[in-house]
Chain A
Amino acid sequence: MKIKVLTCDDMDRLDFEPTLIVCFYQSNKQKQVLNHYAMLKKQYPKIDMIGCSSESNIYDQIPYIEGDSRCLFMCLKLEKDAYRLELRNNTEERLRLPKDKSYNTIMFSSQYFEKIENWINDIQDELGGYNLFGAIAGVSDVLTDTATVFYNGKFYDEHVLLWLIDVTYYRLDGLSVHQFQPVGFEFIVTKSFKDTIYELDHRPALKVLEEVVGCITAQNIQSFDFPFFLKRSDMVSFDESPLSSIKTIDKVTGSISLYRYVKEHDKLKLAIPLSSKEQEDRLKQFHKFHKREDSIAFLFNCVGIKAYLGMMEFVYLMDLKYNLKMPFVGFHSFGEIGPIEINQKSILHNQTISLAILSPVKDRV
């Protein structure tokens, strides 16, 4: 596997013929992406290029977090037949995967949609024991564009892109890490519609929450201040439940909406940050993937993490760079897909740092 991570400023440094390019871009950079795609396609006619719009890009070089300046291109030369790409419209009821081979999967979705959590389960059921990572595309809050995924020359805003990686060629491991713990009593969703919770424990949801946390302001929402653990009926404990952030509040109806759909009888518990030491220990879990030969990492950080860590995110990214010792690239997303523990099932979270490591299978026959 050959790897090179480039920005739009240094595309001329590409010194091998790539088979696949994964691109992360801000939504106002679509034109640039298309230009680069056209140029690359001309030069390498067999190339595939996929991508995902981001709130901002993450890169293992200064400035670590790319604002609106550049797009990132991870150029890969993969073994022939080692992967396949699938673009699916999110109107499909169930997600079926090709059964010819066993695959690890990276999944990019242009948006959150009702069935996505079912799809995540479907993929894993079909994959058996193989891994799934991914993220939901984003846009910067200063831009009004729609989030998209990119597939061989076109942008799609109601689609999911699946990068299926043949397990006989490449491994895909990793972890989703968050920095919170559940606290206090659980609240039961007693009235909801789509992503909006109207009532918790038969009382207006916002009022119930404000009794515990105090007045919730627009600033709090922007800073992703009050995440909570959302336990679906099929989950055993809050510790294995995904974190969810509040998207909006409505003082008139007393409702709150989340970055995901909610069902009646789902349970919520507020999340509070772990101690600094525990947070760092959690992040150190990534060090176990240290220095894997010919590997590359994808990093999907929640926009909430960016708001929470602020300047410390640079420091953590530097720490990751020094300890991981492999190139990494990623973006700030609006939902991350990965497991909380190695060998556990991947779920869709908010407020996590999800790392996926792609490496060649060494002892491949």
Chain B
Amino acid sequence: MIENINPGLIDWSRAQFALTAIYHWLFVPLTLGLSFLVAMMETIYVRTGKEEWKRLTRFWMTLFGINFAIGVATGIILEFEFGTNWSNYSWFVGDIFGAPLAIEGILAFFLESTFVAVMFFGWNKVSRKFHLLSSWLVAIGASFSALWILVANAWMENPVGMVFNPDTVRNEMMNFWAVLFNPVAVDKFLHTISSGFVLASMFVMGISAWFLIKKREELLAKRSILIAGIFGLASSLFLAFTGDSSARTIARIQPVKFEAFEALSDGKQNAPLVAFGVLHGSGEKIGGKELPNFIFKIEIPDLLSVMTSGNKDAYVPGLKDHIEGNSDKGILSVIEKAERGKIARQTLLDYKKAKENKDNEQIGVLLKKFQDQGFRDNYFKYFGYAFINSPEEVIPEIYGAFYSFHLMVILGFLFILIFSLALIFLFNGTIGSKRWFLWILLFSIPLPYLASELGWILTEMGRQPWIIQDLMPVKIAVSNISADSVKTTFFLFVFIFTALLIAEISIMLKQIRLGPKH
């Protein structure tokens, strides 16, 4: 399928995409959450008519604008990088993947960009109610845009609603609703936007805490903590709920990823959930890859079995089951899957040859195969395995997945605690005097950023080696360009993104120090 696989090119292409995604994700969650917080504050302003609420709204809106601009800048790169760096991927799945991106542009981006102009330039030009409506539409537009890109991303995790066309050598969409309501998409969307709400709430609370520490704008700061505290607490509870739902879906759809982030080498009944642990090499190897073991762990008995199957006696497969196979549990080994994938690939090559030779009889026979549900379910489903050279290739980076996942979950529970305490201290009127807690709030600002990025590292690295689960490994998805070209653009992006991030943070800090305008 691709003649010369160049490991350097693959690594640099992945590095470039990861870099762009990580930078992009430094800005997007704040946009997602802050837009709603601003709209809520403005709603109170419009309902009460009190200028103080307008001041508050405009202050947070200024910070929103600074962040929004750089989110837009990094976002455009991601869209085009699918083509520039993953061109084989773009063709193989463009028939499905392109549609959500186009819908995002037509339905969401214009909504955001049109009404963001009213948000910033419409004060004193449009009615209060129209301005408020615009602020809400920006918030809805931002989440709506997240929906479509996450639908596209979820399809990479769980390719559904399509059929492979051997003539065009690509997957073609057959059921739009299956793509939109893909269970991974639903989980991902809810989990991602709620993570944005949590991040923005923590951002608002942390900055408000700084004002309280400095004894400036105390009333506005407390009002901000009230709104952000309630929104943050509700969102963090919902985040935990959607996280749980996501993990169950992953266990069912991407078991190897699930086993990696649980560091579950051996399958077991009454499987415990590891709340936290420290890994080291076990000495046991699959191919060239060493499986990990725990030096130390805190575990909750039976919980993993209950979580995945609702039954404490249920068997939870481990990595070894999915690599070496487990016939008792009906799990194929990687080698079996690779054999089936190779049959699917050979069928495709035979079909292409028959087309070239204009052998109509053979074309008909092979075409029927591709249309046969049994062939699709038992062979084509493993098409990507045809490019897997050894079983250990399908094991993602376990240490990275395990620590990313567990740290993210721990932080998630910490957020619930922080939001709860903030509201308790606010309601009993002691928040201003609890300086230790205000400092905690301030230094908690980076934590949701960390948790959010870890979530993406987990989901993307955990899917490796696949760009599309089971259908296409990353190594055959890359564009046929030189590794040096990608290396050059990688460093250019590092330079530009970092330079802009420095400017963004500096401007933000200055605006915060200046405080709300009178």
Does B bind A? Answer: no
Residues of A within 8 A of B (CB): none
Residues of B within 8 A of A (CB): none
